[in-house]
Amino acid sequence: MFKVKYRYLFILLLAIYSYLNILFTEGDRLFGYDINPVLFFSTLLLMVTAVWEGNHFLENKIAIFEKQDKIHPLIIFFLFSIVSVTIISLLVTTGLSLYFANESHSLLTFKLALGFAFRVNLFLHSLNAIYFFINRYKNAQLEAETLKKQNAEARFEALRNQINPHFLFNSFNVLSSLVYKDADTSSKFIDQLSNVYRYLLYNQQNKVVKLSEEMAFIESYIYLLKIRFQENLIIENDITNSLRDSYIAPATLQLLIENAIKHNVVSRANPLSIKIFSNGEYIVVENSIQLKEVKEESTNLGLNNIKSRYDYLCGKDALVINSNGVFTVKIPIIKADL
């Protein structure tokens, strides 16, 4: 606090306040002498300046004590300032004694000067303590927010890295069965697989991408799934063109589709239906609920990471609704580039 930009203005205002307050309560005999107003105010201004600048000097030196845990640095700072205030009071007493050529008032002058300097010092250290704890609180909030964002980034990246090898393994299994049966379909499958991984590779460091880019990626991804599941998987993609210039976190829709396939039966007898569409300020992905009898272990990591990701990106949560045999996830549409 003591090194604020306008400290000399604050020093002047504090000296003026002290002068008026002393005149109102004690008259002009604070230091034990009949003293003219100009010298009286000058002495107060000098003392306030000395107390402030003494603390300014100590504030820079006292930082070496901040790493120890036994005594709070503010307490150490205040104790050192008392020594500084005592020295200032002695100097003022000596100066006034020499000016008035009167040693008989020295003890009284020292007591009065010390009392005034101590009150000013206590007031300033009270303000400094408030300033110190407000700054510490703000820094703690900033650090917590930074860690929250870093955690969201790391968890989302880990989720993508976990899903990509799993998807690649399934794709190679499909390709191995296609390559001897249908060369043309195999060739197109490889092209679409290249599109998918080119997108994932180029956008793995991006926070957001245009929805139009994500939808082009999803078209390739859906093609691969349709080759794998045939008519057992029905995916309807109905995103309006007006939203194509908005933004979305890369691979969000892939994660949600993969999540639906992971937990539900996909068969000829029970085709899995997945719909992707827009609704107000959200992109909606919903699927029919037809849970597998042997359930895969789930920690809700994927959905929780997506929710954390969108809270980080735009301050809105993804909404998860499980109702009437339909599982729905609503992803906030991000309007501006981040």
Total structural domains within the chain: 2
- Per the model's pLDDT, the better-predicted residue between 7 and 186 turns out to be 186
Q: Please check whether residues 281 and 203 belong to one and the same domain.
A: yes
Which pLDDT value is given to residue 153?
A: 61
266-320 pLDDT, tens digit each: 999 999 999 999 888 899 999 999 988 876 666 566 787 788 778 877 878 889 9
Residues 186 and 327 in one domain: yes
The rounded percent of the chain whose pLDDT value lies above 90 is 11
- 328 domain-assigned: yes
Reported confidence tier of residue 131, pLDDT bands at 50, 70, 90: confident
| H, E, C per residue of 31-55 | CCCCCCHHHHHHHHHHHHHHHHHHH
Q: Which of 143, 159, 194 is the last residue of a domain?
A: 143
Q: Are residues 187 and 103 in the same domain?
A: no
Examine the fold and report which residue of 143, 159, 191 is the final residue of a domain before the chain moves on.
Answer: 143
pLDDT value, residue 273: 94
pLDDT reported for residue 28: 52
Do both 16 and 90 map to the same domain? yes
Residue 283 parent element (H or E)? strand 282-288
Sheet architecture: strand order including 282-288: 233-238, 272-279, 282-288, 326-332, 319-323
Q: Indicate whether 139 and 68 sit together in one domain.
A: yes
Question: What CATH number corresponds to the domain at position 237?
Answer: 3.30.565.10
CA 63 remoteness from chain centre: 26
Of 72-76, 113-117, 221-225, 325-329, minimum mean pLDDT range: 72-76
Helix (H) / strand (E) containing 327: strand 326-332
**Do residue 215 and residue 131 come from a single domain?**
no
Q: Is residue 68 pLDDT above 90, yes or no?
A: no
Instruction: Please tell me the least confidently modeled range out of 4-8, 101-105, 112-116, 325-329.
Output: 101-105
Residue 163: inside a domain? no
Residues 23-54: tens digit of each pLDDT: 776 655 556 666 777 888 888 888 888 888 88
pLDDT band at 144 (very low <50, low <70, confident <90, very high): confident
Residue 152, in any domain of the structure:
no
282 and 228 in one domain? Answer: yes
Residue 175 pLDDT level (bands cut at 50, 70, 90) = confident
- pLDDT above 70 covers a percentage of the chain that reads 82
- What is the residue-averaged pLDDT of the chain? 80
Q: Specify the amino acid at residue 258.
A: E
Same domain, 221 and 327: yes
Q: What is the pLDDT of residue 297?
A: 61
Residue 148 — very low, low, confident or very high, per pLDDT cuts 50/70/90?
Answer: low
Residue 161 neighbours by CB under 8 Å, 6+ apart: none
Residues 215 and 93 in one domain: no
pTM: 0.55
pLDDT reported for residue 336: 62
pLDDT greater than 70 at residue 338? no
Give the pLDDT of residue 129. 83
pLDDT of residue 120 exceeding 60:
yes
Coil, helix or strand at residue 235:
strand
Same domain, 132 and 239: no
The reply to whether 307 falls in a domain is yes
Check whether residue 323 and residue 255 sit in a common domain.
yes
Q: Residues 99, 241: one domain? A: no
- Is 173 contained in some domain? no
Does residue 61 sit within a domain? Answer: yes
> Are 54 and 84 within 8 A, CB to CB?
yes
Q: Which domain holds residue 316?
A: 179-332
Amino acid at 61: K
Q: What's the confidence (pLDDT) of residue 161?
A: 54
* Structural domain ending residue among the three candidates 143, 171, 188: 143
In a domain, 168, yes or no: no
